[in-house]
Amino acid sequence: MIEQRGRPAERVYSITEPGQEVLKRWATAPIRPHSTRDELMLRAYSVWIAEPVTAAAFFREQERGHRERLALYEPKLDGMEREWGDDVRCVASPRLASYATVRRGIGHEREVADGCCWVAEGLERGTAGGTSAGAAPPEPTNGPPGTA
């Protein structure tokens, strides 16, 4: 236990040798395919029926939240690089795993924020162009775009 000022004591755990062997095997074991349900993606898929101004505001708020998380991750990555130096790329170091995890978090947050921005911009342009919510989606075509 590590006593902390103004916070509960922190418990520190260490992995046993048998636990390290299990972790070693698990870290490179095949990953079973799984289905992911991304509610934000489902909302983007259904946005054509929503009121454009409200939907744009929703996606702007989502973008804001992801950019805020991104702003937390980026300095953390910079700090790791400064403090740990080349150790962040050393395959024998647990620091590589921490560094890789934060990099993945940055990539995720950036991609989601950019995607929300793209949807919101489209909705905002559509609103300015006079499209209406609830309009029927375009009929699918069997050929390339622009053909009937």
In the chain, the number of structural domains is 1
Decide if 28 is inside a domain. no
Decide if 122 is inside a domain. yes
Say what the pLDDT of residue 9 is.
Answer: 80
How does pLDDT run across 83-96, given as a tens digit for each residue?
Answer: 999 989 998 888 99
How does pLDDT run across 42-91, given as a tens digit for each residue?
Answer: 999 999 999 999 999 999 999 999 999 999 999 999 999 999 999 899 98
Range of the domain at 114: 63-131
Decide if 58 is inside a domain. no
Contact 125, 46 (CB under 8 A): no
Decide if 75 is inside a domain. yes
Decide if 44 is inside a domain. no
Decide if 116 is inside a domain. yes
pTM of structure:
0.69
Higher pLDDT, 88 or 34: 88
